[in-house]
Amino acid sequence: MRLSICIATMNRSETLGDTLRSIVAQLPGDVEIVLVDGSEDSRSETVFGAVTRQMTACRYLRRAPQGVDRDYAAAVALSSGDYCWLYTDDDRMRPGAVEAVLRALESGPDCVIVNAEVRDASLGGVLEPRRLNVQQDRVYEPADFESLARDTLSYLSFVGAVVIRRALWEAREKERYFGSEFAHVGVLFQAPLSGSTVVLARPYISIRYGVGQWTRRAFRIWMINWPAVIWSLDALSERTRAAVTAAEPWRELRQVFWLRAKGAYSRREYVEWLKPRAPGPFLRLALVMLAAAPVSLVSRFGSLYLRWWRPHAKALLLDLDFARSRVVDRR
């Protein structure tokens, strides 16, 4: 196998079928699909069997949930491809994507980074035409490691962008990143690459925005996990890491404000994650006040600000609208 498309899924049968159909429609004979399923019921297994029943190059493993990082690692371990595309279970692969990736692999890079567009939950309206703001394909050589990180790291929080040489994945340390939900970032940037990285400028993935399972965990993921992974990457300069995220981004009240506006920050997050980190008295007071502020009020204020000053922030506006609707639903 030249390429294995490795998918980790859990309780996402409602989107998995569309994702798989978009992949199967463009697969040549030297590409396989590997699915690791942590679902509580058999619906995802049924979907996988129905979509891939005509395929011989597919592998399926169902097991108790062990976290997305471990599930991707298990999918790679099951695969037989020279390269593994760490694909998501709810996003649609655009026509020509597999062909473009296979063409990029002909030069033997360590990694291919695939650009994506962002659409709404129905995959109708476009929220972002390109997540990675590049206009033409680019090749980063080993000497460009720092530039590669500066240009792509923020985008690479999206695991579906990563196509990695299987031997590189297997050779690098992964366990220290398990549980962060960004093990792929740790694998790629824990040390300089010995081979090139190809960035595909054209968006070959349609991200289905608003159906993710991160809302409840958003504070921990973005304020704790993400900076912990980035700042563990000693192979990168402090300047590059700081350009991606502050080591303690929760000290920037603006970021905590937006998480409160989205309903992802409350007194629970303050007590669990911030109070033990002993913020100073003034910051502590501001964090407690934000945690107590009504989500509907903070969200409405944020929406007004965005509509006046950042009207192109469509995804964030959707988040705020959704947060207010949940407040109404709970009433």
Sign of the CA dihedral with 184 first, then 208, 92, and 217 last = positive
> Both tokens of residue 143?
């000497």
Q: Are 89 and 16 in contact (CB under 8 A)?
A: yes
Cβ-Cβ contacts under 8 Å for 114 (sequence gap 6 or more) = 85, 97, 100, 101, 160, 161, 162, 163, 200, 204, 205
Amino acid at 95: P
pLDDT of residue 328: 40
The type of residue at 305 is: Y
Round to whole Å and give the CA distance between 10 and 66. 10
DSSP state of 122: T
8 A C-beta contact, residue 209 and residue 119: yes
For 280-307, write each residue's pLDDT tens digit.
Answer: 999 999 999 999 999 999 999 999 999 8
pLDDT value of position 329:
36
Considering the entire predicted model, what is its pTM?
Answer: 0.93
The residues, any chain, with a CB within 8 Å of residue 79's CB and separated by 6 or more, are: 1, 4, 6, 32, 34, 59, 166
Domains of the chain with CATH codes? 3-208 (3.90.550.10), 215-330 (no CATH)
**DSSP H/E element including 116:** strand 111-119
Got the DSSP string for 128-140? Answer: ES-SS--SS-EEE
Residues 241, 230 contacting (CB under 8 angstroms): yes
pLDDT per position as a tens digit, 164-214? 999 999 999 999 999 999 999 999 999 999 999 999 999 999 999 977 656
Please tell me the predicted confidence (pLDDT) of residue 326: 64
Dihedral (Cα; 243, 247, 249, 252), 10-degree rounding:
-90
The pair of structure tokens assigned to 74 is: 């298990």
Which one, of 73, 91, 90, lies nearest residue 34 by Cα?
73
Mean pLDDT calculated for residue range 135-164: 97
Instruction: Assess contact for 220 and 131: CB atoms under 8 A.
Output: no
pLDDT tens digits along 212-264: 656 678 999 999 999 999 999 999 999 999 999 999 999 999 999 999 999 99
Distances (CA, A) of 224 to 72, 187, 230, 250, 262: 21, 19, 10, 8, 17
Which amino acid is it at 180? S
Among the listed residues 316, 283, 314, the one whose alpha carbon sits nearest the alpha carbon of residue 302: 316
Tokens found for residue 228: 């912990």
46 bridge partner residues: none
Q: How many CB atoms within 10 Å of residue 41? A: 9
Residue 325, Cα to own-chain centre: how many angstroms?
A: 25
